[in-house]
Structure 1
Amino acid sequence: MTAAFDHAPARPPAGAPARFRHLIAAEWIKLRSLRSTSWVLGAGALAVIGINVNSAASNADRLARQQLPAEPPPGVQARPELLFDPLHTAFVDPAWQLLMVIAATVGGITVFGEYTSGLIRTTFTAVPDRQAVIAAKVTVVSAVMLALGTLVSGVSFGVTQVLLREYGGLSLGDPGALRAVIAAALLAPLCALVGMAVGAVVRHAAGSVVAVIALLLLVPALFQGERYRWVREIGNAMPLSAWERLVMNPERARGLGAYPLTVTDAWIVYGAWATAATAIAVLVVRRRDV
């Protein structure tokens, strides 16, 4: 009996600090255990893809009817040809704005959900290193949202372009196509990080959702004028404006008006918002009491 215990593996001491992989596993369990999260992400992905596919199918039907050799009645002017951008069909604004709201909300829940339920006290008691906890949340949420964004972006682009293959459908090798797919895929984790930052600051479910929607969707709409440069620059610095520029067909990028946003500037906006959102979440959680 004594020999058996002599060869037993040594257990770590009870007070040993949790390693980062343990924190990642814990955050993954928290996120996965919420059934509502899976339903929201799944339904949201299907909704975004459905809107884009419906747009492609509608455009294909209109283009097919346009090609029919029908002569207009006497005295009736022929209908103008349909101005059509196959790349835009895969990235319809309402669909991706919906994804932005969903991603930001889920990101915010991972932070304010623990505050509203009181679980955050248990978390910080078990792991006093708050910075490591937030870093684990950021890692898990970013990975999940990147997978979601990649799936939605890839499927939306692939299916819509197949439907439009007879009407100028694109491939990833066409100018601007790969950039648009990557930018759309990164939009989900970017908005999730913004949602986490807002959730850390507001710490209230309804307030966080309203604040993040206003920040991501309403502010860009308010700063679109071209009369004053500072107004346009603020609008250009928003994630929605950067996404719209990155998914734009290069052939349609002419005549953007005064103070246009360049592709390089748009990528910088992506990086700046992700970095700032992560820093705000870490700083606020470290400094404020639970």
Structure 2
Amino acid sequence: MSTQTPAAGARPLLAADEPRPRFADLVAAEWIKLWSLRSTPWVLALTVLVTIGVNLNAVHSDFVYIDRAARTGTGHRAGAYDPIFHGLNQISADLLMLAAGAVGAISVFGEYATGLVRTTFAAVPDRGAVARAKVLVVTALTTALGAVVATASFFGGNAMLVSRHVGLSITDPGCARCVAAYALIAPVCALVGMATGAVFRFAAASIVAVVTLLFLVPLLFGGDRYELLRRIGNTLPGNAESRLVSNPAAPISWGKYPASVHGSWLALAAWAVASAVVAVVVVRRRDV
């Protein structure tokens, strides 16, 4: 029986000799993987164009009513026209939430669908580190997405209203909060999408779960008849965002059991943290 010995000067190929990947390397790899998906740039570009377009079109469509009020002499009383309600409207917010949730879900189930996840875990056995890197990349990308949409919509819409003298400044009470909340709903929903993608791993099931959590479940917790249901509804991402993206000067009624501003911020933070934890734990513990 003969044995082979390494050639002189050869280095044994031992796993212990391989350098452990740095977290920055994992972040870079996750960025490349996410951006290399054909759907990612298309979804982001369409989201920016459509959501900003919806907001600016809503403001432009109001010109006829603003001009009519000026001609009839009714003027523009405080709160008579709300640039926040129209310029950061709920339709575009829903589109932003859906797109961000889809990006988050795709970032996870896309790897399972293509089998790339096996290669990833073979190269980096530390699944937790990979999942945390993915969470960081998706959060950063969708935060930038939300910031672009929110700032362009707010400043663009109010620039259009300068000639009508009903616009707002970012320094006006509540405006900075509205823009920030409108932007941050994107990464929150993206993390919700990541959690559903990690749990279900299939495209159809993940997207259906995102739509159900973000848009259908809130329908079960509306109205003022039952206080407990309404309190639960106030903590859902879409409802918390609606409360935060509201002009303090506008005469808005929130019903018998209104959500507080601080409570709405806490609700968004809780959804983000819980979704990130679910995504990381599920990826770590479930088989490929």
Same fold (TM over 0.5): yes
> Distance between the aligned counterparts of 1:256 and 1:92, measured in 2?
17
In the other structure, the counterpart of 1:85 is 82
| Residue in structure 2 matching 1:35, options 24, 27, 38 | 38
* Paired AA for residue 262 in structure 1: S
* Paired AA for residue 224 in structure 2: E
Runs of 4+ displaced beyond 4 Å: none
Is contact 1:60-1:167 (8 Å) kept? no
* Paired AA for residue 211 in structure 1: A
1:221 CA displacement:
2.1
> Distance between the aligned counterparts of 2:251 and 2:274, measured in 1?
29
Q: Percent identity?
A: 50
In the other structure, the counterpart of 2:244 is 246
> Distance between the aligned counterparts of 2:137 and 2:208, measured in 1?
24
1:35 CA displacement:
2.7
In the other structure, the counterpart of 1:181 is 179
Is contact 2:31-2:137 (8 Å) kept? yes
Indicate yes or no: 2:221 matched with 1:218.
no
- Note the alpha carbon deviations across 1:117-170, whole angstroms, 9 max, x for none: 111111111101111001100111111111111111000000111111224100
Alignment root-mean-square deviation, CA: 2.0
* Paired AA for residue 24 in structure 1: V
> Distance between the aligned counterparts of 2:236 and 2:51, measured in 1?
21
> Distance between the aligned counterparts of 2:128 and 2:232, measured in 1?
31
Where does 1:129-278 land on structure 2 (aligned, <5 Å)? 129-165=126-162, 166-252=164-250, 255-278=253-276
* Paired AA for residue 240 in structure 2: A
1:254 CA displacement:
5.2
Is contact 1:131-1:286 (8 Å) kept? yes
* Paired AA for residue 61 in structure 2: S
1:60 CA displacement:
1.9
Is contact 1:63-1:167 (8 Å) kept? no
In the superposition, the TM-score normalised over structure 1's length comes to 0.89
1:85 CA displacement:
1.1
In the other structure, the counterpart of 1:6 is none
> Distance between the aligned counterparts of 2:34 and 2:154, measured in 1?
28
| Residue in structure 1 matching 2:101, options 96, 101, 104 | 104
> Distance between the aligned counterparts of 1:173 and 1:105, measured in 2?
33
> Distance between the aligned counterparts of 1:56 and 1:255, measured in 2?
22
Which ranges of structure 2 fall in alignment gaps of 5 or more residues?
1-15
> Distance between the aligned counterparts of 1:188 and 1:38, measured in 2?
16
In the other structure, the counterpart of 1:122 is 119
The alpha-carbon distance between structure 1 residues 177 and 243, as it changes in their structure 2 partners (threshold 3 A), is: same
> Distance between the aligned counterparts of 2:249 and 2:199, measured in 1?
41
1:176 CA displacement:
0.8
The alpha-carbon distance between structure 1 residues 262 and 174, as it changes in their structure 2 partners (threshold 3 A), is: same
Is contact 1:246-1:263 (8 Å) kept? yes
In the other structure, the counterpart of 2:27 is 24
In the other structure, the counterpart of 2:51 is 48
